[in-house]
């Protein structure tokens, strides 16, 4: 079955350009020109992934991303003309899985879509032990589910990938570059700071006290390790 991609941009030329390229890559594509239409299509079409413009008229793409993330785990890639690092990190904090800056290569966009979808695929991160239990935390690698004290924790595909890499080898220290390579893929080199944002989001979700984490520990000057 073809993966369905929702492309949200107020510029028809960009939507059509992306649609034509992605269809050649084997995807099914639906389009929205503004936020209300995008939210309606999310509900009606249940896309596998959303390519979402940051600067939409009215309700911004960031707000659409936040609302989508509140309702489920549909991966989101932000399209943005903003190049400042803090702006990009804000998008990640609101739940985006990745971002790409305009003007962009259609080939690079397609690669990033495939990487994010692969991370979101159930069973894609299976380990020798399919379920890891550490303290109050339970990670099901096959089902892409995380539980804490019997409560299901909703993670983005990127957050789950990073957690599964760290938890797969407890105690091993990963540098930011190693996490980028292991969790996000070759296309993400140069985005080391984004790992810090994803780690911060993860701690807010799985740690009882994010300021004093038990599971995702900082190794100062090096990176992170799983301490469960």
pLDDT at 83: 59
Q: What share of the chain is helix, strand, coil (3-state, %, to 5)?
A: 45, 20, 35
- Across residues 198-203, what is the average pLDDT? 92
Q: Rounded to an integer, what distance in angstroms lies between the CA atom of residue 54 and that of residue 102?
A: 10
Pairing of strands 223-226, 216-219: antiparallel
User: Cβ distance 180 to 193 under 8 Å?
Assistant: no
Name the average pLDDT for the chain.
Answer: 84
Domain boundaries, the chain: 4-120, 131-226
pLDDT at 89: 61
Element (DSSP H or E) covering residue 120: helix 106-120
What pLDDT, in 10s, does the model give residues 135-168?
Answer: 889 998 878 889 988 889 988 888 888 998 898 8
Which tokens in the block code for residue 33? 């020109």
Number of neighbours of residue 27 by Cβ within 10 angstroms? 22
Architecture of domain 4-120: 3-Layer(aba) Sandwich (3.40)
Q: How far is CA 101 from CA 62, 80, 87, 149, in A?
A: 15, 5, 11, 39
Number of neighbours of residue 81 by Cβ within 10 angstroms? 11
User: Cβ distance 199 to 158 under 8 Å?
Assistant: no
CATH topology agreement for domains 4-120 and 131-226: no
- Across residues 188-196, what is the average pLDDT? 71
User: Cβ distance 49 to 77 under 8 Å?
Assistant: yes
What pLDDT, in 10s, does the model give residues 88-143?
Answer: 666 666 677 888 888 888 988 988 888 788 777 755 444 445 788 888 899 988 78
Side-chain-side CA neighbours of residue 61 (13 Å)? 27
In the predicted structure, residue 39 carries a pLDDT above the cut 70: yes
In the predicted structure, residue 210 carries a pLDDT above the cut 50: yes
pLDDT band, residue 84 (cuts 50/70/90): low
3-state SS class at 190: coil
pLDDT at 144: 83
Which tokens in the block code for residue 128? 């020798």
Which candidate, 190, 183, 8, 197, places its Cα nearest to that of 83? 190
In the predicted structure, residue 23 carries a pLDDT above the cut 80: yes
**Chosen CATH of 131-226 out of 1.10.3720.10, 1.10.8.60, 1.10.10.10, 1.20.140.10:** 1.10.10.10
Number of neighbours of residue 18 by Cβ within 10 angstroms? 23
- Single pTM value for the model: 0.61
Strand order in the sheet with 76-80: 28-32, 4-8, 49-53, 76-80, 98-101
pLDDT band, residue 224 (cuts 50/70/90): very high
Q: Rounded to an integer, what distance in angstroms lies between the CA atom of residue 34 and that of residue 58?
A: 8
pLDDT band, residue 182 (cuts 50/70/90): confident
- Across residues 16-21, what is the average pLDDT? 96
């Amino acid at each position: 079955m073809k993966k369905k991609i929702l492309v949200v941009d107020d510029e028809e030329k960009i939507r059509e350009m992306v649609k034509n390229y992605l269809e050649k890559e084997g995807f099914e594509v639906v389009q929205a020109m503004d936020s209300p239409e995008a939210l309606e299509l999310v509900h009606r079409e249940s896309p596998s992934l959303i390519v979402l413009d940051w600067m939409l008229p009215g309700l911004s793409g960031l707000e659409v991303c936040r609302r989508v993330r509140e309702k489920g785990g549909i991966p989101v890639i932000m399209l943005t003309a903003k190049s400042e690092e803090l702006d990009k990190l804000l998008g990640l904090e609101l739940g985006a899985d990745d971002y790409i800056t305009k003007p962009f290569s259609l080939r690079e966009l397609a690669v990033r879509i495939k990487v994010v979808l692969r991370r979101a695929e159930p069973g894609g991160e299976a380990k020798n032990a399919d379920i890891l239990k550490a303290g109050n935390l339970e990670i099901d690698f096959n089902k892409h589910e995380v539980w804490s004290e019997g409560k299901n924790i909703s993670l983005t595909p990127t957050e789950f990938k990073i957690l599964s890499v760290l938890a797969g080898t407890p105690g091993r220290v990963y540098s930011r570059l190693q996490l980028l390579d292991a969790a996000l893929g070759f296309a993400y080199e140069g985005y080391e700071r984004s790992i810090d944002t994803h780690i911060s989001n993860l701690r807010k979700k799985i740690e009882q006290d994010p300021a004093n984490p038990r599971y995702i520990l900082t190794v100062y000057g090096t990176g992170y390790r799983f301490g469960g």
